[in-house]
Amino acid sequence: MAQNATVPQDTTGRDTAAQASDQPGLRTVGVEEEFLLVDPDTGQAVPAVDRVLEQVPDDLRGQVQHEFQTSQIEIGSPPGLELGALRHSLGLLRSGLADAAEAAGVRLVAVGAGLVDGPVPPVFDNPRFHRMVEQFGPLVDGPGNNGMHVHVGIPDPETGVRVLNHLRPWLPILHAVTTNSPFHNGQDTGYASWRSVLWERWPSVAPTPWLESHAHYQWLVDQLVATGMLLDEGMVYWYARLSAHYPTVEIRIGDVCPSLDDTILVAALVRSLVGTALTDVEQGREPVRIDHHLLTAAHWRAAHDGLDGLAVDPVRGGTMPAWELLDKLVDRIRPELERHGDLPEVTELLDRLRKDGTGATRQRAAYARRGELTDVVTDLARQTRGDNTSER
């Protein structure tokens, strides 16, 4: 939600657009992740972002920033072509930030929404954030909604808009993959992603509309700003949008993922989905035009069930097992996974996801051991840091 949520510059010093041009058909990918800062004993959100930022090592500071509330903190990876480099960058950032949080007396947790009831931390002292609170009222009555945003390189905005149309049918199943917030205020909500329900209270959160052109995209954004529904272009919270700062499409549907493996899987799937859409655009294939209300239903189902239940077939309507639809997505994007060299790792990570479940499934398993939400917080903190040793 930050005004300038950005993918930081390539720390290798090499321009990533040049990297992509060296290898035609390959697309850069970068990731932003938002985390919650909690009390290590109670799991309650703590307004500790300033204390944590003071402890962040100098070599990581350019990739760490505040977020909307003082109990949140955000990292951003450099964009690049290799999943291995993305894993390395995010791993350093996650572990470095976890160390900084512990030095500040709190714990870093990758979770979509606050688990434990407690005081609502204040909004970060930023003029734009204060304007948002003044304009939109008490939409934020919890400790912060934490998401994951994936940026994928595109050649130009006009092509990007056409890509957005092709992405629409497939984003709900990716939404299901990222579900990681079943608990809120001490209760199991019955949803796999309660963050999605909270997030949709903002008026501009919605599936990306059907767009006729980049001019139409820009006209629509300008009209929404004129109505007062948006303060500025940064408040376009569609599930996929054009980045206002980089030559990328930005997919922003999901909860922050609990583990680095989950993040890498989603980043790889998103990149290959965008690559598939680019191929469709280049070859003149028309996107499937999905009814807005059916698309809304598909995202609701994804937030409710995750991968443990049903998914809406966005083309034919009706429902099917969520894993069946995810398998269809992987089959569709397989050529792009192979082109980027990602298929072996994605296959392994999908097998692990099928075995262990989404973040929501894992949270419920941790809670089932003793009925204590502190166990969920401890397990999430372990996954956030990068210790993937299973405790289940």
Residue pLDDT, tens place only, 44-53 = 999 999 999 9
Q: Residue 236's pLDDT is what?
A: 93
Choice between 20 and 265, residue whose per-residue pLDDT is larger = 265
Q: Residue 3's pLDDT is what?
A: 36
118 falls in which pLDDT band (50, 70, 90)? confident
Tokens 């969520």 label which residue? 322
Residue 276, token pair as written in the block: 């598939």
Indicate the helix (H) or strand (E) that contains 240: strand 240-242
Q: Residue 24's pLDDT is what?
A: 62
126 falls in which pLDDT band (50, 70, 90)? confident
Q: Burial level of 296, CB count in 10 A (0-12/13-18/19+)?
A: middle
List, for residues 192-243, the tens digit of each pLDDT value. Answer: 999 999 999 889 999 999 999 999 999 999 999 999 999 888 889 999 999 9
Residues sharing a CB contact under 8 Å with residue 291, sequence separation 6 or more, in sequence order: none
12 falls in which pLDDT band (50, 70, 90)? very low
Q: Do the Cβ atoms of 141 and 120 come closer than 8 Å?
A: yes
340 falls in which pLDDT band (50, 70, 90)? very high
For residue 92, CA distances in Å to 100, 185, 358 come to 12, 31, 23
Tell me which of 3.10.180.10, 3.30.420.40, 3.40.50.150, 3.30.590.20 is the CATH number of domain 16-385.
Answer: 3.30.590.20
Q: Residue 141's pLDDT is what?
A: 66
Mean pLDDT of 173-202: 95
The phi-psi region of residue 371 (left if phi > 0; otherwise alpha if psi is between -120 and 50; otherwise beta) is left
Mean pLDDT of 161-169: 98
133 falls in which pLDDT band (50, 70, 90)? confident
List, for residues 58-70, the tens digit of each pLDDT value. Answer: 999 899 988 878 8
With a threshold of 0.85, does the pTM exceed it?
A: yes
Within 10 A of 50 (CB to CB), how many other CB atoms are there?
A: 12
User: What percentage of the chain reaches a pLDDT higher than 70?
Assistant: 91
List, for residues 86-111, the tens digit of each pLDDT value. Answer: 999 999 999 999 999 999 999 999 99
Distance between CA 193 and CA 360 in Å, rounded?
7
The separation between CA 43 and the C-alpha centre of its own chain, rounded to angstroms, equals 22
Position 130 pLDDT exceeds 80: no
Q: Residue 387's pLDDT is what?
A: 65
Distance between CA 362 and CA 382 in Å, rounded?
12
List, for residues 356-383, the tens digit of each pLDDT value. Answer: 999 999 999 999 999 999 999 999 999 9
Position 18 pLDDT exceeds 60: no
Least confident of 12-26, 41-55, 309-323: 12-26
Q: Residue 134's pLDDT is what?
A: 77
